[in-house]
Amino acid sequence: MQRIRALSGREHARLEKWLNIEGITLNPRSLRDTYSDVRPVAQILQKKYPSIKLEFYTSASSFARRLQNWQVFSFRDLKKLGLRLKASDLIQLAEGKPGAVDWLLFRLIFKEEEPPKFRISSKAISLGVLKSLEELNCCSHELDCLAAMTGAESSLTLDKDWKL
């Protein structure tokens, strides 16, 4: 699960540049009120992800309705885009906490630029999964480092009982 955090100066500049290219101006005076609701945020994200359907999100002024919209948006769209938020994060978005919407937009607009994360357990090493991955020339440097850290003799070492 992701946690909302403040953007660095560089991240904020990249977000502002993308918004300017798309012709979107986030008014700092109305940012908190306007973008605490899902619909304006969904309209911005729809430029990058046309699969987002705006008809599911009506404009809301009460906190309870805004929170409900964020919960629906999280379930319907954010989950499909690979972003899972905690209930406390949805509350921050519905309250219009400073930086919350900026983080969400940055995370979704620039998400494909993040390198994929691999997690290989020590059990995978003993089962010989590393050999299969190495045969595919997949992240061989990371595999060697992992094997060295776990004390395996080599990333090509297989368990004697393991049959391919």
Every domain of the chain and the residues it spans? 9-113, 115-164
Predicted confidence (pLDDT) at residue 61 exceeds the cutoff of 70: yes
Angle subtended at Cα 2 by Cα 44 and Cα 17, rounded to the nearest 5 degrees: 35
| Rounded-to-integer distance, Cα 112 and Cα 128, Å | 30
Query: Tell me, what's the pLDDT at 68?
Result: 93
For residue 89, the surrounding DSSP H or E stretch is helix 87-95
Selected residue with higher pLDDT from 118 and 50:
50
In sequence order, what are the beta bridge partners of 2?
85
| Rounded-to-integer distance, Cα 7 and Cα 99, Å | 7
Q: pLDDT grade, residue 164 (50/70/90)? A: very low
Q: pLDDT grade, residue 69 (50/70/90)? A: very high
Is residue 22 a contact partner of residue 47, using CB atoms and an 8 Å limit?
yes
Q: pLDDT grade, residue 156 (50/70/90)? A: very low
Query: 9-113 in CATH: which number?
Result: 1.10.418.10
Classify residue 32 as exposed, middle or buried by CB count within 10 Å of its CB (0-12, 13-18, 19+).
middle
**Cβ-proximal residues to 114 (8 Å cutoff; 6+ apart), any chain:** none
